[in-house]
Amino acid sequence: MPTPSGKTDAPLAGRRAQAARNDEVILEAARAVFLDDPKAPIAAVAERAGVGISALYRRYAGKEDLLRQLCHDGLRRYVAEAEAALGEPDDWAAFAGFVARVVDADVHSLTVHLAGTFTPTEEMGRDAMRANELATALFQRARASGRLRPDVVVQDLGLLLEACAAVRVPDAERTRQLRRRQLAVLLAGLSTAPDTDPLPGPPPAAGEFDWRWQRRE
């Protein structure tokens, strides 16, 4: 549409589209760089993304802002998957499907792996509380289905996701296959079965792993 000066908005839209593409390229590069080494310099992200360091700094004031963005993206994805799962009528399918999608999205690598590398915002704190509420609701539904063994607690879900996130090989598709295989084994272990021995040791407690979010220098 023409502006008062006679110019159109097309070039601006094009610049905005290019900026959005650049931002996604930067975030993808940051995921790869910081999941491999959270202590890597921000220049490594610019190099992997193929952009100048000035282009990166126009979007993020520094490395901490970039790490915080990555982690918050993972947290939002977790919340979105949990909210979608609550619409599934089958209680066990809702729980298992949610866990599978979170594993496929590698959400836990973007949250726990980067914990302690930045100062969380209040918004992130609210989203974390929401994530916990949603996960608890899905867990309780799975328990109500009769498919969960009675000595499992909701905190075991975090350990399950960490175990799957630890599976990583150079090939992305093979990583996905192996994680799904590991997930199937772990879900089978959470399921009720006759003559199953009790789980060893006390279960993980609420807040037991919060220390990881303390800022580390």
Q: What is the mean pLDDT of each run of 10 residues along the chain (217 residues)?
A: 48 65 89 87 94 89 91 94 96 96 90 82 94 96 93 93 90 92 92 72 79 69
The confidence score (pLDDT) of residue 208 equals 76
The confidence score (pLDDT) of residue 169 equals 87
Give CB contacts under 8 A, 24+ apart, made by 124-133: 124/68, 124/71, 124/72, 124/75, 127/72, 127/75, 127/76, 127/79, 128/75, 130/79, 131/75, 131/78, 131/79, 131/82
The confidence score (pLDDT) of residue 130 equals 97
Gap between the Cα atoms of 79 and 161, Å rounded: 15
The confidence score (pLDDT) of residue 87 equals 95
Q: Counting beta carbons within 10 angstroms of the beta carbon of residue 80, is it exposed (0 to 12), middle (13 to 18) or buried (19 or more)?
A: middle
Tokens 């590398």: give the residue.
117
